[in-house]
Every structure is written in C-alpha cells, then in structure tokens.
Copies of this chain bind each other. A is one copy, B any other.
Amino acid sequence: MIVRVITVYVKEEYIEEFKTATIKNRNGSIREPGILRFDVLQDTRNPGVFLLIEVYASEEATEAHKETPHYREWKEKVEPMMAKPREGKAFIPIAPTDSSEWE
C-alpha cells in the first residue's frame, strides 16, 4: 500500500469550483480497483488549502490512476485554479496495516 498526500493551493475565487471538480474526481477514483480510499479535506484556517489523501493498493495503481478520464479531466480543469503548484508526498501505512481497514 502507498498513501499519497497532496496539498493543493487554490485561488480564493475558485474554491467552490475546485470542490465540485475534486468531488467528481474522487467519486471516479474510489471506483478504481487499485484505490482503497480517496479523501478530500479543507484547511479550517486557510480555506484555499486542500489535502487529498489517496490510498493505493500498489505503485502500479498510482500510475493507473493518472491514465483515467476522471483524473485527466480534473487535472486540466483545476490547473487555472491553482495559486501555486501542488505538493505531493508518498507515505507507507504504519497503522493500520491491513488493507481492509483502509477501505
């Protein structure tokens, strides 16, 4: 399992549009066989800052995600909404470690 945590910085005027586009991407993503969870969070102090927490079954699943129509549509749609480039980091789960507990 691999957990990708992406921080996205959104221009204030695009916050609602970004949410709509990201929920759509999330709803497509959770149907991918290699994606266990895909959570979208908004910073309470900085409402233009979002975290995407993407839980993948494998490294291959992270690559497969980038080829999906919902990801490509999202990426193109949100590009002009970014206040600065997004930051992504990869993590391994320490707890829980059983993939059934991530679904």
A interface list, Cβ under 8 A from B: 2-3, 5, 19, 22-23, 26-27, 38-45, 50-51, 53, 89-96
Tell me if A44 and B94 are in contact (CB < 8 A).
Answer: no
Q: Which of chain B's residues have a CB closer than 8 A to the CB of A39?
A: 93, 95-96
**CB proximity of A1 to chain B, nearest CB, Å:** 10
Tell me if B41 and A92 are in contact (CB < 8 A).
Answer: yes
| A93-B40 contact in complex given A5-B51, A51-B5, A53-B53, C-beta closer than 8 Å | yes
Who on chain B is nearest to A53 by CB?
Answer: B53
Q: Which of B2, B23, B45, B89 contacts A95 (CB 8 A)?
A: B23
**CB proximity of A99 to chain B, nearest CB, Å:** 13
